[in-house]
Amino acid sequence: MKHPFLHALLRLPRHSGVLAVSGSLLLLALPIVAMWGGQAWVRILDFAILYVFLALGLNIVVGFAGLLDLGYIAFYAVGAYTYALLASPHLGLHLPFWVILPCGAMLACLFGVLLGAPTLRLRGDYLAIVTLGFGEIIRIFLNNLNAPLNITNGAQGINLIDPIAIGAFKLSGRTDIWVYSLNGPQKYYYLLLLLCTGVVVINFRLQHSRIGRAWQAIREDEIAARAVGINTRNMKLLAFAMGASFGGVAGGVYSAMQGFISPESFALNESIMVLAMVVLGGMGHIPGVILGAVLLAVLPEALRFGVVPVQQVLFGKVLVDPESLRMLIFGLALVLVMRFRPAGLWPSPERQRELAEAKS
Amino acid sequence: MLEVTGLRVAYGGIQAVKSITFHVREGERVALIGANGAGKTSTLKAIARVLDAAGGDVHCAGQDITCLPPHEVLGSGIALVPEGRGVFPRLNVLGNLLMGAYIRNDKAAIAADLEQVYGHFPRLKEREKQLAGTLSGGEQQMLAIGRALMGRPRLLLLDEPSMGLAPLMVQKIFEVIRTVASQGITILLVEQNARLALEVSQRAYVMESGRIIHTGPAHELLVDPRVRAAYLGE
């Protein structure tokens, strides 16, 4: 006999409305609940959603079209720097966000096509190497574009970036709403949640569209895709462009939220982190990618807070520096997941079946 | 229907196809036979524009398709069943077949064509939900042909449909090729198995190191002593 609650959960269609409502309420209440643990936790939530956003963008390129991109963070950097340059004292420009975010998305999109066009004939590891190089080129440019003309302010980065604001309402600082006072990270959380919902919807719509099917065909067999009449060149460029635009928007919000950016934030390990989220969660499967992004964004931070108290309880003192232990546990967790769930934590039903069929 | 003039294909410096000229008439079944490396597959790929020709031109139903981008070739009525099947391994059978109709948006006609393909290959109907990568070689070949038919071609290019298949399966595949041809689809067939190819087609061209060295009605080539000696193992 099944537990009644489990039973209710399993019969999704009838209760999906209830689930959706309670899920949204939970998401809306989350930053207020997290505030009890301190503002740091709200910021962790912000980054979790930002990474979901990024991972879903990369999922279009890697998961849907099957193009292994190791330089994805470059588009994030383009978006972030676009925002920083157009809304900070550095160039003396202070454009509103609704002008800059689309600009950032467009510019990132352009860079996406710039990367896509020369790599059309490449696949797999070769493509990975070129995209990796591309990501590094962008970072090195940002690092060195401070002379002879100071554009990016080099390694020092850009400071005092304007927060996102609508009229007098700023997303940074406190705002009193009725009896509750919302702080900056909490307001950014709601903005990110809104944007992210949009990206999730776009991802779902894309997956089952004609475009999504074309990407699927290209991922499976490019020659066969051409033989059934798919314009593989345009479709691959479209994947790069769309993925890049999402990265650009995410970068813009990141810039505004942090108020400070430097090339350091856009290093290779960030690209790899986002890719790990996609792969660990379940490549091409939207709920899986979301899960992967949330886990990989929250887990290292949770370990940061957990490692010290646990050691004190066990040994009476801190034996291992939390920073190094954190990455060790994190790495181990990645290896274990890939060992026991090779298709990711939450793979698509088709992928699951494929693994099952391959085993039998 | 198909008019190939002076077609050349080169891989780097090596000429795989050295200026060949041939034609296929509307509703005909024509075979291109020859040994390994004779340039048969390259010819077919160049016609389907999966490969760039080094020279010459290809006309299909009066239209010059020599410079057509590959994804528009199917729209001009030519479907290629690639060598080694080339199905989408992680899509199921139905998904593969529907992908064949990618360029069409006439839902009712697509559904009708799907039924027709299932009529040709009842086995595919049974395996509708199975992933293509887990099908047997013969089933994959059926699927590749089925998928090509879903594009409603007027000319079907078949590249080595018998390759690596059990004899019984080969019989089945060639039966379907006959049926398809009887419905008015023109067939250009590339085969190493010359006897099989000659039995199913009306005319044939014999290729050797990138050139066409013989041509004639299939039943004559079947009894031609030179062809028998070189390609029929007698």
The DSSP code sequence of B21-37 is EEEE-TT-EEEEEESTT
Amino acid at residue number B50: V
In this predicted structure, what is the pLDDT of residue A14?
59
CB-side neighbour CA atoms (13 Å) of A352:
10
Q: What is the pTM of this model?
A: 0.86
Q: Do the Cβ atoms of B88 and A357 come within 8 Å?
A: no
Q: Give chain A positions within 8 Å (CB) of B88.
A: 216-217, 220-221, 224
Task: Give the count of Cβ contacts less than 8 A between chain A and B.
Answer: 72
ipTM score of complex: 0.84
**Residue B207 host element (H or E):** strand B203-208
Q: What are the structure tokens assigned to A280, written together?
A: 């660990």
Q: How far apart are CA A54 and CA A265, in angstroms?
A: 14
**Which residues of A are less than 8 Å from B84 in CB distance?**
none
pLDDT along chain A (360 residues), means of 10: 49 69 86 82 92 95 93 95 92 90 95 92 88 94 88 89 84 76 86 93 91 93 88 94 95 94 92 91 91 89 77 78 75 86 83 68
pLDDT of residue B229: 81
Measured in degrees and rounded to the nearest 5, phi and psi for residue A301 equal -70, -45
pLDDT at A2: 44
pLDDT of residue A125: 87
List, for residues B127-168, the tens digit of each pLDDT value: 999 999 889 888 999 999 999 999 999 999 999 998 888 889
Residue B189's DSSP bridge partners are B31, B158
Please name the CATH architecture into which domain A37-359 falls: Orthogonal Bundle (1.10)
Across chain A, the runs of DSSP E, i.e. the strands, are: 87-88, 93-94, 165-166, 169-170, 175-177, 180-182
Give B212-217 contacts, CB < 8 A, sequence gap 24+.
B212/B20, B212/B21, B212/B22, B215/B22
Q: What is the pLDDT of residue A167?
A: 76
How do residues A94-119 score in pLDDT, each as one tens digit? 899 999 999 999 999 999 999 999 99
**Minimum CA–CA partner of B78 in chain A:** A227
Q: What is the pLDDT of residues B176-227, one digit of tens each?
A: 999 999 999 999 999 888 888 999 999 999 998 889 998 999 999 888 888 8
> φ, ψ for residue A107 (rounded to 5)?
-65, -45
Contacts of B70 in chain A (CB under 8 A): 226-227, 232
Alpha helix segments (H runs only) across chain B: 40-47, 93-100, 107-120, 122-126, 137-149, 167-182, 194-200, 218-223, 225-231
C-beta atoms of A224 and B90 within 8 A: no
In three-state secondary structure terms, B234 is: coil
Cβ-based neighbours of B225, under 8 Å, separated by 6 or more: none
